[in-house]
Structure formats: structure tokens, C-alpha cells
Structure 1
Amino acid sequence: MKAFASIFVFLCFLWSCQDAPKEEGKSDNTACEEYLSFENRDDQFTGGIKMIPITTDKGTFRVWTKRIGNNPTIKVLLLHGGPGMTHELYECFDGYFPQEGIEYIYYDQLGSYYSDQPDDLSLWTTERFVEEVEQVRKALGLDASNFYLLGQSWGGILAMEYAFKYQEHLKGLVISNMMSSVPEYNAYAQTVLGPQMDPEIYKEIKAMEDAEDFANPRYGELLFEHYYTEHVLRMPPDQWPEAVMRALKHANNQVYVHMQGYSEFGITGDATLKDWDVKDRMKEIRVPTLVIGAQHDTMDPSHMEWMSKEVQNGRYLYCPNGSHLSQYDDQKTYFDGVIRFVNDVDQKNF
């Protein structure tokens, strides 16, 4: 079934090629063939997949990447959330990027399902993940002439931290559905979103959090039914996309709990990200930046709009019907905005 789905996407792309951007003097078919071609690529044998070695203080491990398409000036590296989730959350990009001629790279960070999963808590630090992204960039041959970094949720934290250290390698930055302050994210969850819930449900959730009873199945059930379907993905549970459910099934809970805590209802317990706050550093980001916020997100959309004004060269994309995974529940707004940003930066219209 998976192979059939891949063939179907491929055929749909071929049918839509007449609408893809083309270089002057080249036919539509030629532009399409070049985007699709693996000829003379070192990943032809694997269909675009590369297992990239990552050097750490604890040894060398491998991370999984898969490149889709060819575009010498637009290459988007996707940083998934979690931490410990997978690239599968972004498989809907297949429905939008190919017909625009945008090259993009799926990537499972170290510890995630398709990459190596070492059992060592010392590896799960923001600083080490930043160095991992830099090693991935070098291995894929990305540079300031073509490298766009798109990070969502935890991936947004990682994208910001990467930009603070390595923005000279970036052509464009997309911060999707992530605030620049975890304490302010927590405050938004506890003082704005929580009180919107049924008071008895909210009281029960808070009681379990105060008791640190996060392993209680009732805690997860209440959050999924009353919070996730309102603020993570605004669809009935039986309509959640298969790729999202697959990503949840493949999540590495060790990484997730160590850094994020037990839920998306703020960062709980002694998770290492609980004090992360870079709002005073946002002005350091010079590279063209798109910040994406959504009305029903777990993150405060007004904070994301502020971030877009705080960076030196920013734009805000607001998804009025979206939540945390607004690439699904406000899909047209999301992809129209991201594609416009990428093309504007590429054509120097930003």
C-alpha cells in the first residue's frame, strides 16, 4: 500500500507538471524531468535517502534524510517537532512542494524512528542538536545560496538556535508554530487555553499535574479528547491523517519526556526545555524569516506576530483556522504562505 501511494503521488506530480515554474528557454517537460531526475546524484541508488554520520562526544551515529526533487536555489530542510517525533508529520508537503518545483528534505533527528536511537540522555540537548543540523547541512551541500530551514514546534526552537549560531549559511528561515519563550508558552496554556476547557475536566487535569501523575492513562485520555483535538489538530480523532498517527506511534518517548515533558499542555516536570527563553535574542536574526502562528494553536499567535517584527527581516503568516499542526487543519493558508515566502526570497522580492 505504501508503494502504491508513492506511485500515485509521483503520477499526480507528472500530471501537474505543466504548472511548475520553468527556466527561460526550457520546456515544461524539461523542467519537470530535471526536478524529478536522480541522474548523476550520489543518492540515486537509494531514491534520495542518505544516512548521514553524526559525530558526537558519545560516538558516531547515523541520521536518516530523504531528498525530494532538484532545485539549485531552493532547498528546504524540514525540522520536525517533539523532540523525538518524526518527519512523517510533514508528508503532506508532498501535496504542495513538488508542483512548485521546491526541493525539500525530510529528516529524522538523532533518536527519532528512522535514525539511530542511542540510549543516552546526555545526547538530548539543544546545543548538540544544533551541531547535528550543521553536520546535516554540510553533508547535503546546503549553503546560503539555497538553504531554507523550516522548523515547527520543537523544530522551531532548533531552527532559532541554529540561526543564532549559523545564520550565515541560511537563505531563509521559517519558524512554524513555536514561541520564543517556553515560560510564556506555559503561561498561555495555563491561563488562557486551560480555562477554556470544561471546568471539571480542567480541574482533574490540574490535579494530576500537581501530583505529577503523568503516567496515569486518564491524563492522556483527557488531554487528547479535550485539548489535542482543539489545539494540536482540529479534527475528530478518527479523521487524523494516517501519517500523523504513524508519527505518534513512532515517537521516542525517552527524548520527548526528557526535553518536553509528558504532554503538549505546557512543559511539565523537570523537562530540560522548561526554562528555554530567547525572546531577547530574536533581534539578532538577520536572515529573511517567516513566522507562522495559528488562532487555535497551543502557542500564542500574538507572540508569534511579535516575533516576526522583532527579527530584522520578518514576515508573519496567520492561519485563522489552524492549530499546532496547521499544515493540516489550515492547509491552504499554510502552504500558500510558505510557498510565497520561499519564492519571494528566491526572487529577491522579500
Structure 2
Amino acid sequence: MKIKNFGLLVLSIILFSGCKNNPDEALKANYLDFTQRDDQFTGGIKMIPISTPIGKFNVWTKRVGNNPKIKVLLLHGGPGGTHEFFESFDGYFPQESIEYIYYDQLGSYYSDQPNDNRLWTTERFVEEVEQVRKALQLDNTNFYLLGQSWGGILAMEYALKYQKNLKGLIISNMMASAPAYNKYAEEVLGPKLPTSVFNQIKTFEKNKDYSNPKYTELLFKYYYTEHILRLPIDKWPESINRAFKHLNPNVYVYMQGPSEFGITGDATLKDWDITSKLKTLTVPTLAIGSKYDTMDPEHMKWISKEVQNGRFLFCPNGSHCSQYDDQQHYFPGIIQFLKDVNNGDFLKKS
């Protein structure tokens, strides 16, 4: 029995020594170790208190993995969406030992949902992200911000004010101008629809008849399955269906409008445009565009050249949710970006 234990001890020492000599192996061995973390009790979940102009609320976060050098905060779409749009990341980031944090913004399903439109401004959301960053102790040695769709707007706005806190920025499937996005939907994507379908959609929108079941049916059948997620509706992942089920319509309609076919109605984001400010961004930036996206991939390519240290990732099979319908390009591109920035190779390869 003593000999057996001694053998195990020697084997443990050998394995531990190997980890010490190989940082990647040590990182992988430590990746799912919660023992030194203050969120072990909740499995990585933290409700983070935030201050707003109308009072204090709590937002939901969940940290996955341990990596002191790469921590990715995920900003979901909507507005009023949830972290559930990102659940496919579970299939790719852990095997690369990338730490990532799910986060439901204020007003979203797992966070507090106050009913006050004064809260739904990009400026306030930026300050919310900054409070979350501080609570999670993220800084420019490890903090990467990934925003998809509306989350891309929020990520860009955050970087314009707080890029000194970032190590890297990822803008996924979002243009830098709402008017340009609307123009692309109207002049490029719309005319690709069957003429009768496009005319019906425009008639519904002209009459502001957004709640008409026929309007929703047309969008899902002819537009969403082509440009939001390129799968038949009955094949959509459960996490996506859950995310849509949990969408807060009050926040969504107030800021984005009642449709994904452009930013419509009286939505507050309708005139949002930061194209003239992008050249001030110096943080390493990855802009992701997809062939079938609701967003113009050429605009995303332009963003990557307009910022001072940019890279473009093109997803030839993807739409707005490329994290699901073009995973073979989306995830390798993001993972390579994170590793290149972390290793100091970003400028050499971009």
C-alpha cells in the first residue's frame, strides 16, 4: 500500500512539474478549478449591483473558466435580448482555455427589469458595462469585449469612451451606422425577396401594423431564415428559441423598433451613427461580417480598416447569427484573434 501511494506521489510530482514547464498545460489543468474563486458556491454566477439615474438594480453574470490573460465579456443583442444567444460558445471556448462571461444587461430576462424608458439609452448602458467590468476586476491586461448585433453597438460605444480599459474589441455582425443599415435592408436585401412579399412587408410597416400575424409570418418565412439564422425554423437551436422567448419587447421596441427588417418606427437608435469616430479607436479590433447577414459585410470590412488596428473576419456561410450557422469560420477566427493579441502577434498578422 505504501509503495502504491509512493508511486502516485511520484506520478503527481511529474505531472505537476510538466504543467509548470508548459504554461498552456497548466492553464488547461486549472481552467475549471473554482476552489479559489468567490463564485464557487453559485457555479460562476454573480448578481452585480449597478447604479443608474433612477436607482440601484442587479444584473446577472456567469463566468466560465479561468484564464488570467484572456477574459471575454459577451454583450448580447436586442436590446432586451439575453446571453442565451451565445450558448454555442460553450462548444468552442473551453477547449481553448478561454475564459468568458455571460451577462444579461439591465432589462433582460435574468437581470432586473425595471419599466422605465429613461434607462434605455446607449450612454447609460455604457456606464453599466463599466460597472460590470469593475465588479469582475477586468482590465487592459485581460479584458476583451465581444458585442453581437445591438451588443456590437454597445461594444463600440464603450470602446469610444473606455478603450484604455480594453485589451481587445470584437464587433460581431453590426454596422457603425443605423441609417446605413436601414439603407442596406431597403435597397439590397428587400429587393431580393419575392416582389409580392417585399411589397406586403412594406405595406404593413407603412401602416404600422407590426402586430399583424401575417407580417410576422412573412418575416420569419422569407427573411429571418435567410438573414437571421439560415436554418428552417423547426431546426433552430433550442437556445435561440429560448432567447427569443425571453426577449423583453419593451426595451427592444423602444430602442430597435418592432422588426429586424431595419430599425423602424420611432426607435431611439434610428439615427445612431458613429462612423466618423471609429478612426479614434486604437485597441486591437476584430470586425465580423457574414455573406447573408442583415448587416452589410462590406461595411464590416470598412470598419476593420477605419479603426487604427483592425482585422476583418468574413463568414461565407453565415447570417446575423453566424455563431450558429457558420461556426467553422466564426469561432476559429475569433480564437485566432484572441491568441494573436494575447501573444503580441496581432500587428504582425493583420
TM-score, normalising length: structure 2 = 0.92
Q: 1:242 aligns with which of 222, 225, 238?
A: 238
Correspondence for 1:304: 300
Correspondence for 2:328: 332
1 CA distance for matches of 2:78 and 2:108? 9
- How far off its partner does 1:33 sit? 3.3
Aligned in 2, Cα 1:160/1:343: closer, same or farther, shift over 3 Å?
same
Correspondence for 2:130: 134
Correspondence for 1:172: 168
Q: Secondary structure at the match of 1:218?
A: helix
2 CA distance for matches of 1:165 and 1:27? 34
- How far off its partner does 1:56 sit? 0.5
Correspondence for 2:10: none
2 CA distance for matches of 1:332 and 1:24? 32
Cα offsets for 1:186-240 (capped at 9, x unmatched):
0000010000001001100000111111111111111011000000000000100
Alignment pair present for 1:110 and 2:106 = yes
2 CA distance for matches of 1:176 and 1:223? 22
Correspondence for 2:283: 287
Aligned in 2, Cα 1:27/1:186: closer, same or farther, shift over 3 Å?
closer
Correspondence for 1:217: 213
* Aligned partners of 2:19 and 2:26 also within 8 Å: no
Unpaired segments ≥5 residues, structure 2? 1-17
Q: Secondary structure at the match of 2:265?
A: coil
In structure 2, give the amino acid aligned to 1:139.
A
Q: Secondary structure at the match of 1:144?
A: coil
Correspondence for 2:40: 44
Query: For 1:180-329, what aligned pairs fall within 5 Å after superposition?
Result: 180-329=176-325
- How far off its partner does 1:32 sit? 3.1
In structure 2, give the amino acid aligned to 1:252.
N
* Aligned partners of 2:20 and 2:26 also within 8 Å: no
Larger radius of gyration: 2
Q: Secondary structure at the match of 2:234?
A: helix
How many pairs were matched up?
A: 329
Q: Percent of aligned positions with the same letter in both sequences?
A: 68
Aligned in 2, Cα 1:167/1:319: closer, same or farther, shift over 3 Å?
same
In structure 1, give the amino acid aligned to 2:97.
G
Correspondence for 1:93: 89
1 CA distance for matches of 2:24 and 2:214? 55
In structure 2, give the amino acid aligned to 1:228.
Y
2 CA distance for matches of 1:28 and 1:163? 29
Correspondence for 1:146: 142
Q: Secondary structure at the match of 2:130?
A: helix
- How far off its partner does 1:39 sit? 1.0
1 CA distance for matches of 2:159 and 2:98? 21
Q: Secondary structure at the match of 1:243?
A: helix
Q: Secondary structure at the match of 2:31?
A: helix
Q: Secondary structure at the match of 1:41?
A: coil
- How far off its partner does 1:43 sit? 0.5
TM-score, normalising length: structure 1 = 0.92
Q: Secondary structure at the match of 1:279?
A: coil
1 CA distance for matches of 2:233 and 2:66? 36
In structure 2, give the amino acid aligned to 1:86.
T
Alignment pair present for 1:157 and 2:141 = no
Unpaired segments ≥5 residues, structure 1? 1-21
Cα offsets for 1:38-94 (capped at 9, x unmatched):
112111110100000010011100000000000000000000000000000100000
